[in-house]
Structure 1
Amino acid sequence: MVAEQLDAPDPETLVGEAKAAFRDGAMLTVQARCEVEYEGRTSGHLGPGDRILVAKPDGTFLVHQPTGHKPVNWMPGGGTVSARTSDGDVVLLARRTNPTERVEARILEAYGVTRFDATDGATYEESGTEAEMHEYIEANPGVLEEGLRIVEHERESKYGFIDFFARDEAGTPVVVEVKRIQATLNHFDQLQRYVSLYEETNDEVRGILVAPSASERVKRALRDNDLEFVGLSEFETDAKGATEAKLTDF
């Protein structure tokens, strides 16, 4: 791993560093005041502002503003990134042909540039996924209810795949819907649709929504419709963006 940092490079130096990074397969990060143009499936313009520009060896190009975790403009991998001067400014141009689109960042003032010759062959392995929840429930149905017996995992229906079709200790059919994130009203609606399929042919059927947590509004909606909630708090995570619902879901 090699990292090189230059402060306030002039346009010629920045273009030279960028071209060398692109040629050598290094990551390039530029801290700059810039404006951005996009052309492709739509068109757009982002006026001048302080941003971080990131160019990766696979052609990925990202424009980050000071706030927010997502880039405001970007180009996915598969294309190319080039550098040139135009009217005294440095222009970084990312483009691809399938589909045809381009992101052009005109650097009005460069505060710094970093070249990072990085190597990374690791694969991200996520823990606490919905698949792991399914495996856990299938192996331990008693965590949902004592005496619960799994009959079928991922039963197909006209509304999609039901996560679990089960029977309780009394033999009553139970439809189980599992969610990795905090339960929302959309998840409640989904469970209600699945239960309605069996209400047409059974005098009694139960529905259980399983998630790490649920708001009081979701729990109330379930109770009012004779449905149930089981919280598996062990699948909560500190990465709240991965487990929390949006405000509109409440």
Structure 2
Amino acid sequence: MTTVKYLAEPDLDKAHNFISSAVAQRDMIVMAVKCSVAYEGRGASRLGEGDRLVIVKPDGAVLVHRPTGYSPVNWQPDSHVITVEKQDGRILFRSVRKRPREVLEILISRVYFVVAIHGLLDDAEFIEYLDESEIADYLARHPDLIEEGLRVVRRERPVEGGYADIVAVDKQGRYVVIEVKRVTAGIDAVKQLHRYVEMFRKANAEAKVRGILVAPAITKDALSLLTSLGLEYKHVDVARIHKKAKQERRHSGSLSLLDFIGKRG
């Protein structure tokens, strides 16, 4: 059963007791406070006093947000020990990790509000996908996923009315104009590919040109139109590409902020 408790503009004694109890029960805690923040561990940092949003999760993760921006200014991916003490008329919230040893201290001088939520559950599967540009980038590096023997000539080739995602040459020396979609391809995607193929043929009158629509799925009407226009469809597993692309980023040392936070934890 989920329960929610909160205090608005409490004095620091009430806030201290409330936060201590919520930490002991492993509640989700969300509080708007005036505070300063100190961190010591792999490095060290100090953040002067200001208004912050502090989130403490049941697994011990702690995030400190400024009023603007989406990234936390300080965070602890998990905590082995959390303590809440009164110190010189303020509240000292301390999160400690053992391996590696990291200490995050939040010194609170005022509490605007604090909410404690007990019993939150979330067991849903999270599936993250790349955007179309990232999928096309990956396929340009691994064209055999589209067709064996393809050799990429250009990524994002300008054609009249837009940009072809990938232009390649197949084993028989024919040009292949490739349009990539992240979700189920419909009739508009087929018309887009057909337009790019025709523009490419117009600019390269002597060339033999194919067109391939790459997507995780395609509607029946779109597939029928595609076939009637002499174009082709290639299924790709977007989730698998995401997994492989993430592995490539890790091996190359190129990590996004989310990858970095996951690795740090």
- Shorter-chain TM-score bucket reads 0.5 to 0.7
Percent identity of paired positions between Structure 1 and Structure 2: 26
Tell me how far apart the structure 1 counterparts of residues 114 and 144 of structure 2 sit (CA, whole Å). 49
Q: Does 1:122 align with 2:119?
A: no
Tell me how far apart the structure 2 counterparts of residues 112 and 230 of structure 1 sit (CA, whole Å). 53
Task: Judge conservation of contact 2:143–2:150 (CA < 8 Å) in 1.
Answer: no
Give the match for residue 46 of structure 1. Answer: 47
Give the match for residue 91 of structure 1. Answer: 92
Paired amino acid for 2:101: T
Aligned-partner SS, 1:106: strand
Paired amino acid for 1:124: E
CA deviation after TM superposition for structure 1 residue 204, in Å? 6.7
- Identify if the C-alpha distance between structure 1 residues 36 and 78 changes in structure 2 by more than 3 Å, giving closer, same or farther: closer
Paired amino acid for 2:100: P
Task: Judge conservation of contact 1:34–1:48 (CA < 8 Å) in 2.
Answer: yes
- Identify if the C-alpha distance between structure 1 residues 83 and 165 changes in structure 2 by more than 3 Å, giving closer, same or farther: same
- Identify if the C-alpha distance between structure 1 residues 211 and 111 changes in structure 2 by more than 3 Å, giving closer, same or farther: same
Structure 1 vs Structure 2 CA RMSD:
4.4
Give the match for residue 210 of structure 1. Answer: 180
Tell me how far apart the structure 1 counterparts of residues 76 and 83 of structure 2 sit (CA, whole Å). 13
Tell me how far apart the structure 2 counterparts of residues 96 and 112 of structure 1 sit (CA, whole Å). 27
Paired amino acid for 1:9: P
Q: Does 1:164 align with 2:145?
A: yes
Which TM-score applies when normalising by structure 1?
A: 0.57
Q: Does 1:65 align with 2:100?
A: no
CA deviation after TM superposition for structure 1 residue 16, in Å? 1.2
Task: Judge conservation of contact 2:34–2:51 (CA < 8 Å) in 1.
Answer: yes
Tell me how far apart the structure 2 counterparts of residues 98 and 177 of structure 1 sit (CA, whole Å). 47
Task: Judge conservation of contact 1:175–1:208 (CA < 8 Å) in 2.
Answer: no
Q: Does 1:107 align with 2:108?
A: yes
Aligned-partner SS, 1:29: strand
Q: Does 1:173 align with 2:150?
A: yes
CA deviation after TM superposition for structure 1 residue 109, in Å? 1.1
Tell me how far apart the structure 2 counterparts of residues 163 and 2 of structure 1 sit (CA, whole Å). 53
Paired amino acid for 1:118: G
CA deviation after TM superposition for structure 1 residue 96, in Å? 0.1
Task: Judge conservation of contact 1:59–1:77 (CA < 8 Å) in 2.
Answer: yes
Deviations along 1:222-250, whole A, 9 cap, x unmatched? x9xxxx99686x99xxxxxxxxxxxxxxx
Task: Judge conservation of contact 1:28–1:54 (CA < 8 Å) in 2.
Answer: yes
Question: Number of residue pairs matched?
Answer: 181
Paired amino acid for 2:118: D
- Identify if the C-alpha distance between structure 1 residues 58 and 202 changes in structure 2 by more than 3 Å, giving closer, same or farther: same
Task: Judge conservation of contact 1:31–1:51 (CA < 8 Å) in 2.
Answer: yes
Task: Judge conservation of contact 1:165–1:176 (CA < 8 Å) in 2.
Answer: no
Q: Does 1:14 align with 2:15?
A: yes
Task: Judge conservation of contact 1:166–1:175 (CA < 8 Å) in 2.
Answer: no
CA deviation after TM superposition for structure 1 residue 12, in Å? 2.0
Task: Judge conservation of contact 1:34–1:106 (CA < 8 Å) in 2.
Answer: yes
Tell me how far apart the structure 2 counterparts of residues 30 and 103 of structure 1 sit (CA, whole Å). 16
**Structure 1: gaps of 5 or more residues:** 138-153, 184-190, 214-218, 236-250
